[in-house]
Amino acid sequence: MSDEVLIELENVGVAFNATRSMRGGRYWALEDVSLRLKRGERLGVIGRNGAGKSTLLRVLAGILEPDRGRVRRGPVSCQLLSLALGFMPYLTGRDNAVLSGLMLGLRQREIIARLPAIREFSELGDFFDEPISSYSSGMVMRLAFSVAIQVEPDVMLIDEVLAVGDAEFQQKSGAALRERMRQGHTVVLVSHSEPEVAKLCDRLLWIEHGRSVMEGDRDSVFEAYHQQLHLTGAAA
Ligand SMILES: Nc1ncnc2c1ncn2[C@@H]1O[C@H](COP(=O)(O)OP(=O)(O)OP(=O)(O)O)[C@@H](O)[C@H]1O
């Protein structure tokens, strides 16, 4: 891992409009999170349901602007892999792959040259040329993962998607991801699967109620997290 900081968050907060049952007003999904993401880092983000993990990934991806705090970003391309992904349902897998590549800063001919590899990795067969409204959620994730693996963004932000798809594809995507990490790619992974996080990440950020609780090497953060779960008797 190099010392080059790709994205830096300083006391970042994101507020949403609260629902009527919450009596309106603003609701802080992220309250105060600071983070320095370095090139080549394999960062896991852990925390209970609703802690703000997905919101944090959307800030890192540049999809959400913070309502407080500061984000400093180098000239990096980020790809967010999430089940709530922004594909166009009426376009084919192929056209969505081209769009994603363009949005990640590739030239049209670069992404077109990679289409056969994307189609092959996805194992979508003829579905690659069908509108993705006809895909299952597992098929959408196959497409998204295949694009990300072939396009090679500077930063891959992965939100609970590795468990989607059948066991064979999970194994293949996990292996492809580990290979990318071995080559020094930067990955941020949100997952409730501790074995997955333990296998892929060497550093962890633990957040609760939108605030950073602890950041550090994987084993120390897991230890503190488990201790707290034990104390509160709560499940992750
Ligand atoms: N677009 C939105 N509008 C309103 N509230 C939102 C929106 N997105 C997230 N929230 C709220 O912000 C809080 C944090 O949500 P977020 O999805 O970031 O948590 P999470 O840690 O990823 O949760 P989980 O582990 O359950 O996926 C939640 O209370 C959620 O309901």
State the complex-level ipTM: 0.94
> Which residues approach ligand 1 with their CB closer than 6 A?
16, 29, 47, 49-55
Please report the pLDDT score of residue 39 as a whole number: 92
Q: Whose CA is nearest to atom 28 of ligand 1?
A: 50
Which residue's CA is the closest to the ligand 1 atom numbered 17? 54
Of 129, 150, 171, the one marking the end of a domain is 150
Give yes or no: residues 70 and 128 share one domain: no
Same domain for 71 and 22? yes
Same domain, 72 and 102: no
Same domain for 41 and 19? yes
Rounded CA-CA distance 110/95 in Å is: 14
Low-confidence stretches of the chain (pLDDT < 50) are: 236
Same domain, 12 and 74: yes
User: What is the pLDDT at residue 42?
Assistant: 93
> 75 and 11 share a domain?
yes
pLDDT at 60: 94
Last residue of a domain, one of 150, 177, 207: 150
**Range of 213's domain?**
5-79+189-234
Count the domains in the chain: 2
Whether 89 and 144 map to the same domain: the answer is: yes
pLDDT at 96: 94
Q: What is the pLDDT of residue 214?
A: 94
Question: Does residue 99 fall inside a structural domain?
Answer: yes
User: What local confidence, expressed as pLDDT, does residue 236 receive?
Assistant: 46
Q: Classify residue 116: in a domain, yes or no.
A: yes
Name the residue at shortest CA distance from atom 30 of ligand 1: 50
User: What is the structure's pLDDT at 20?
Assistant: 64
